[in-house]
Amino acid sequence: MNPKTILVVDDDFSTAEILTFVLENEGYRVLTAFNGKDGLDKLRLSSVDLVILDVMMPIMNGAEMAHAMKPDPAPGNVPVLITSALPETTVQDMFGRYQGFLRKPFQMESVLALVRAILTDADKRRG
């Protein structure tokens, strides 16, 4: 069975690096992007099972990337896990639909548990 692919989109290099390290150690394939525009480009070029998306980024922020994903059937169906230092109530107003939220700073155990839950739920929906 092929490993699930996760796209980490975060302008904080150290956060992206730590997430990549932890997720790869769990057996996931990880792609990284440091702004929403690069994230969209990678999303369109690769088959991605989950996007872990920061909110505050240069060039194209997380909300702009999420809204750009929606019209496109393939990326529009990819689950999104939002990470932000902002309160979730603020994020809800910006994003609308997403499958999970983690407030920064977060614990890696919380990331892994939420990633597993979101991917399991997505697999069940696909049947």
Q: How many CB atoms lie within 10 A of CB 30?
A: 19
Share of the chain above pLDDT 70, in %: 94
Per mean pLDDT, which range of 2-6, 20-24, 122-126 is the poorest? 122-126
Cβ proximity of 61 and 80 under 8 Å: no
pLDDT in tens, 27-71: 999 999 999 999 999 998 999 999 999 999 999 899 999 988 877
The angle that helices 36-45 and 62-69 make with each other, rounded to 10 degrees, is: 30
The CA–CA distances, whole Å, from 8 to 34, 35, 98, 110, 115 equal 8, 10, 15, 16, 12
Q: Which CATH number is correct for 5-126, 3.40.50.2300, 3.40.50.10800, 3.40.50.300, 3.40.640.10?
A: 3.40.50.2300
Domain locations in the chain as residue ranges: 5-126
